[in-house]
Structure 1
Amino acid sequence: MKRIAVLGVGSIFLFAGSSKAGFLIDFEASVGAIQQKPSGYVSYKPISDTDKIDVKNDAHLGNKTKPWAKFKFEHPIPIIPNIKLAYMPMKFDGSGVLTRNINWGNYTYKANADYNLSVKLDRVDTTLYYNLPFINTATAGKLDVELGLNVRTIMFDGKLNGTDKNTGQKVSESKSITLPIPMGHLAAEIKPINQVSLLGEFNYIGYNKNTYYDYTAGLRLNSHGLISTPLKPFIEVGYRYEKLKLDEKDVKSDLKIKGGYALVGVRF
């Protein structure tokens, strides 16, 4: 992890001379809602594959709609990276009856036991990036590309509560991890006309037995040229997909979370 983080920071400074050209400071803030539809499995101290809990078929985790807040700051100083911040809460709960014995933590939950699974994956994104001005210049402002490093801090909490039907014994085992994950970051905005933008973003890292990536694709309607106020409102709709294959501190998971989103925001 440390080596990856160092390499990621080093790659950013290779592009230090490519920061966004211009003399204006740009701010952007947006807030909205995102669908979160989970699939895959999660486990804690598994002994075999039978200890993997399928979040749909075993735990019946339901889909959620959660808030999503984003902030963006760009400046004309070449050597200092631009910055984006984002916060997205994520929590799923489900219950069922075990069809097999499952080892979770330091306890083996017996077949036919009632149980409840709670998985939390709140995250904060801190992205340092540079715009590539030669692309923007070559396309007369129609294409903007960002390249940098995203550090995603995940606050993971997995809890399994179970009740043995034969003895009535109630057992609860949980695991919490705060995990900062450095990811390569690539984003692009295509603007065929000032009032319409097509946006895409991709974050990725792979190390040891871990693979983590996500991408978004969106359509933004801008008020540029339509109003004369300093604040330029916009609306954005799109789709987000995330895959988290994790093997850290006795927690193993292979989760996929996808869904549409809608944001409203301002640029100034």
Structure 2
Amino acid sequence: MKRIACIFVFLLFLAPDISSALGVEVAVGGWGQSPDGYVGYKAITQADNLDLGNDAKYDDEFRGYVRAKFDLPLFLPNIYLMYTPMEFEGTGQKSANFKFGDQPAFTAATDFYSKLVLDHYDVAVYYGIPFIETLTGDRLSAEFGINVRIIDLSAQVTQGSYDESTSQTIPMPMVYIGLRVQPFKWLAIEAEGRGISYDDNSYFDYIGRVKYHPFKMPMKSLYIAGGYRHEQIEIDEKDIKADLTFSGPFAEVGLDF
């Protein structure tokens, strides 16, 4: 996954150089992630699942993220890249013995340390829906495409001499839909949705954003933005079962080229 991260960083730094030929938007921000739900690894019963709040005692976390959009000419699809890190750790207890992985059993009423990582990398190709901007005088636009989300998942539980961990890379194809309403040149309201559901897996990601353009620079437009993001995840892959939600407000600053 380090190679994928390097590609993302390279593309983001490349954006100003190609802005003369393409429309480019680059933004960095921070998201307050509030975790909820459970995760289990080789769980036999429901009692083996770890509740993120009650058992693992995870707190809310504030993580940075980056994203970039490339508006390509002619009939080429546009590109949307986004990297969202997600990591939680804590020390908790369960009221009953539980199984996590191949260890015989973790002990009830005894502290254990756990860590959950769900970093994800998004690559979307999309088209703007024709004529909407023209018919509305650039006040409304809509986008539709395909998003591939690569989830870099790892989970670890440690208690005394017991230490169990697992890691997987899970690619998920998703539908991408975007909508923007711009009543004034200095104000825009945006909504994004990504989602997929198949077998016992599903992933839905919703983003609402308000952008404010305080001033315009030559060839560039600086903006600040705030909003809310909600992710709902169900995973049943290779002995990992999880039903998770992450939600909270975010803020970002960006440039339109």
Could you say whether these structures have the same fold, taking a TM-score greater than 0.5 normalized by the shorter chain as the test?
yes
Identical residues among aligned pairs (%): 35
Letter in 1 for 2:189: L
Letter in 1 for 2:90: G
Q: In the alignment, what sits opposite 1:117? A: 114
Alpha-carbon distance, 1:252 to partner: 0.3
Measure, in 2, the Cα distance between the counterparts of 1:124 and 1:82.
17
Matched, 1:140 2:137: yes
Alpha-carbon distance, 1:24 to partner: 6.5
Measure, in 2, the Cα distance between the counterparts of 1:211 and 1:98.
27
Measure, in 2, the Cα distance between the counterparts of 1:134 and 1:186.
17
Measure, in 2, the Cα distance between the counterparts of 1:149 and 1:139.
25
After superposition, what is the alpha-carbon deviation per residue over 1:225-267, rounded to whole angstroms, capped at 9, x for unaligned? Answer: x435112100110000001111001000001000100010101
> Unaligned 5+ residue runs, structure 1?
1-22, 164-169
Matched, 1:94 2:90: yes
SS of residue in 2 equivalent to 1:56: coil
Q: Map residues 70-219 of structure 1 onto 2, 5 A cutoff.
A: 70-78=67-75, 80-107=76-103, 108-163=105-160, 170-219=161-210
CA RMSD after TM alignment: 1.3
After superposition, what is the alpha-carbon deviation per residue over 1:127-164, rounded to whole angstroms, capped at 9, x for unaligned? Answer: 1100012211221111110100110111000000012x
Measure, in 1, the Cα distance between the counterparts of 2:43 and 2:134.
53
Contact 2:216/2:222 (8 A) holds in 1:
no
Letter in 2 for 1:95: T
Q: In the alignment, what sits opposite 2:55? A: 58
Matched, 1:234 2:223: yes
Contact 2:133/2:140 (8 A) holds in 1:
yes
Q: In the alignment, what sits opposite 1:259? A: 248
Which of 39, 45, 65 aligns to 2:42? It is 45
SS of residue in 1 equivalent to 2:131: helix
Measure, in 1, the Cα distance between the counterparts of 2:115 and 2:216.
47
Q: In the alignment, what sits opposite 2:23? A: 26
Contact 2:211/2:223 (8 A) holds in 1:
yes
Deviating beyond 6 angstroms after TM superposition, the runs of 4 or more aligned structure 1 residues are: none
Matched, 1:250 2:246: no
Contact 2:197/2:203 (8 A) holds in 1:
yes
Measure, in 2, the Cα distance between the counterparts of 1:119 and 1:202.
24
Measure, in 2, the Cα distance between the counterparts of 1:41 and 1:61.
11
Q: 1:134 to 1:162 in 2, by over 3 A?
A: same
Letter in 2 for 1:200: A
After superposition, what is the alpha-carbon deviation per residue over 1:50-101, rounded to whole angstroms, capped at 9, x for unaligned? Answer: 11110001110011000010111002221x2100111111100011223101
Q: In the alignment, what sits opposite 1:220? A: 211
Letter in 1 for 2:31: I
Q: In the alignment, what sits opposite 1:12? A: none
Measure, in 2, the Cα distance between the counterparts of 1:258 and 1:184.
20
